[in-house]
Amino acid sequence: MDHKTLEHLQHLDAAHHLHPFNDNAALAAKGTRILTRGEGCYVWDAEGHKLLDAFAGLWCVNIGYGRAELGDAAATQMRTLAYYNSFFQCTTEPTIRLAAEIAELTPGDLNHAFFTNSGSEANDTILRLVRHFWAVQDQPRKNIFIGRHDGYHGTTMAGASLGGMKGMHKQGGLPIPDIHHIDPPYPFGDAGDMDPEEYGLLAARRLEDKILELGPERVAAFIGEPIMGAIGVYIPPRSYWPEIERICRKYDVLLVADEVICGFGRTGEWFGSQYFGFQPDVMTIAKGITSGYIPLGAAIFNDRVAGVLAAQGGELAHGCTYSGHPVCAAVALENLRILRDERVVEHARVDIAPYLATRWAELGEHRLVGEARIAGLMGALELVPDKRRRGEYFPGRGKVGALCRDIALRHGLILRATYDAMLLSPPLVITRLQVDELFDKAWKALDECAQALG
Ligand code: PLP
């Protein structure tokens, strides 16, 4: 793109486009980076820079960029039947096929999909339908959801309330009533010298304490991301999720796994709940279901919940115009075909995850890195002032992370920064050679960042 066009677009962007999760005044002054093309694990910007996208867009481009088959699937479906809804006792073929395929892929008896446009709407959906599930069984007071401080479940009123991001709660009067939070499992910041598995049990038992405080007859569900992504890839010890599951079963509290990031291969398993070995009653998905090529989300219910909703729920007063959109469903089906037929999840688990873990651990040797944690293809480097002092952070948390992210960009590498943690989530199709490139660029960025800090 020529310089004049780029400047013109940046001017229009500053004048007319409010960016999500951005300081829009600061962005307008700086000028937006405009992305123009993608291929495999790389994207190009309008100035012609080639960038290794080690964040897969926003945790979502699992099959990599530029797969024409998904565009073909969308075009074919648009030409055949661009739209029809699932409201008026009807639906479309790709929608049905996708619901059946999700039932096949998801673990246990998670057999019933309610489609949305996004992960946030999927989490809104479960808040309403799970409360309805208890209400129609004469337990209308069993309506409290428990989430985790610093959890992320999206940006709608319910999604942001279920999440525990303080900055989000400050805007718009959140959380909405009857949503409570417990502290998350964050071994680096919270476990001290404790044995990790013991710490995992302790962190899980915060749920039991909260249920007993509120009364089990009031608690409808617990929701959690198998690995908390946005806050900084908090990977719980192995003991955490089985203990959460035990507690949920004991008090008849529904267990909701938010698999919006972890689903569709991110951990090297199809779902994060399989990685940790627990069985959710309800699951929310989005992102990797279409590898981000088109918006789509879903709430998935097990036989028990869907059975009650069907038998006693009456007409569900819930749904989006685009619930089960046939074009989105057709693209999702093609994406799932590629993930399956090209053994992309297996590639991530067998060929990449162990190698990436080794190289990530090498980055952990850098003097700026207090912890290099990774699970499958999801990791974080926690940048600290003194790597010998665990749990200590830079003053004004976030500045060093932003600095390192910007330096990495100049080296042609996209990583995300949350506070001072550098987050990793590359396309699942990344090769070992590209992992080496990622390592070299990240190391250079860390070096330059350390030099800048003096
Ligand atoms: N849940 C998790 C764990 C997420 O990371 C996100 C988005 O990043 C969401 C829900 C919300 O999904 P969406 O942005 O599609 O609304």
Report the alpha-carbon distance of residue 108 to residue 302 in Å, rounded. Answer: 8
Atom of ligand 1 nearest to the CA of 59: 8
Residues 312 and 385 in one domain: no
Residue 349 pLDDT grade (very low, low, confident, very high; cuts 50, 70, 90): very high
pLDDT at 391: 78
Looking at 342, 374, 408, the residue that finishes a domain is 342
pLDDT at 216: 98
Q: Would the pTM count as exceeding 0.90?
A: yes
pLDDT at 330: 98
Q: In the numeric block, which tokens belong to residue 4?
A: 């004049």
Ligand 1 center from residue 79 Cα (angstroms) = 30
Residue 305 vs residue 454, higher pLDDT? 305
227 three-class SS: coil
For 157-208, how does the pLDDT look when each residue is reduced to its tens digit (9 = 90+)? 999 999 999 999 999 999 999 999 999 999 999 999 999 999 999 999 999 9
Residue at 25 is within a domain: no
pLDDT at 454: 87
Residues 314 and 399 in one domain: no
Task: Give the domain extent around 139.
Answer: 69-342
Ligand 1 center from residue 117 Cα (angstroms) = 11
Residues 207 and 336 in one domain: yes
Q: What is the ipTM of this complex?
A: 0.99
Residues 206 and 225 in one domain: yes
Q: Which residue puts its alpha carbon closest to atom 1 of ligand 1?
A: 153
- For residues 424 and 415, the answer to whether their CB atoms sit within 8 Å is yes
Q: Which residue puts its alpha carbon closest to atom 10 of ligand 1?
A: 153
Residues 308 and 208 in one domain: yes
- For residues 268 and 376, the answer to whether their CB atoms sit within 8 Å is yes
Residues 289 and 368 in one domain: no
- For residues 288 and 266, the answer to whether their CB atoms sit within 8 Å is yes
Residues 382 and 276 in one domain: no
Atom of ligand 1 nearest to the CA of 287: 15
Q: What percent of the chain is predicted at pLDDT more than 70?
A: 100
Ligand 1 center from residue 58 Cα (angstroms) = 9
Residue 389 pLDDT grade (very low, low, confident, very high; cuts 50, 70, 90): confident
Contacts of 444 (CB under 8 A, 6+ apart): 411
Atom of ligand 1 nearest to the CA of 117: 15
Q: Which residue puts its alpha carbon closest to atom 11 of ligand 1?
A: 154
Residue at 257 is within a domain: yes
Residues 307 and 409 in one domain: no
Residue at 113 is within a domain: yes
For 397-435, how does the pLDDT look when each residue is reduced to its tens digit (9 = 90+)? 999 999 999 999 999 999 999 999 999 999 999 999 999
Residue at 444 is within a domain: yes
Residue 212 has pLDDT above 90, yes or no: yes
Count of domains forming the chain:
2
Ligand 1 center from residue 284 Cα (angstroms) = 9
Mean pLDDT of the chain: 97
Residue at 48 is within a domain: yes
Report the alpha-carbon distance of residue 407 to residue 415 in Å, rounded. Answer: 10
Ligand 1 center from residue 153 Cα (angstroms) = 5
Residues 255 and 383 in one domain: no
Report, as an integer, the average pLDDT of 239-260: 98
Residue 268 has pLDDT above 90, yes or no: yes
Report the alpha-carbon distance of residue 191 to residue 199 in Å, rounded. Answer: 6
Pocket lined around ligand 1, Cβ cut-off 6 Å: 118-120, 123, 152-155, 225, 229-230, 258, 260-261, 286, 297
Question: What is the domain-level CATH number for residue 302?
Answer: 3.40.640.10
Question: What is the domain-level CATH number for residue 56?
Answer: 3.90.1150.10
Residue 392 has pLDDT above 90, yes or no: no
Report the alpha-carbon distance of residue 333 to residue 348 in Å, rounded. Answer: 20
The dihedrals phi and psi of 371, each to the nearest 5 degrees, come to -155, 135
Ligand 1 center from residue 152 Cα (angstroms) = 7
Q: Which residue puts its alpha carbon closest to atom 13 of ligand 1?
A: 119
pLDDT at 403: 97
Ligand 1 center from residue 63 Cα (angstroms) = 18
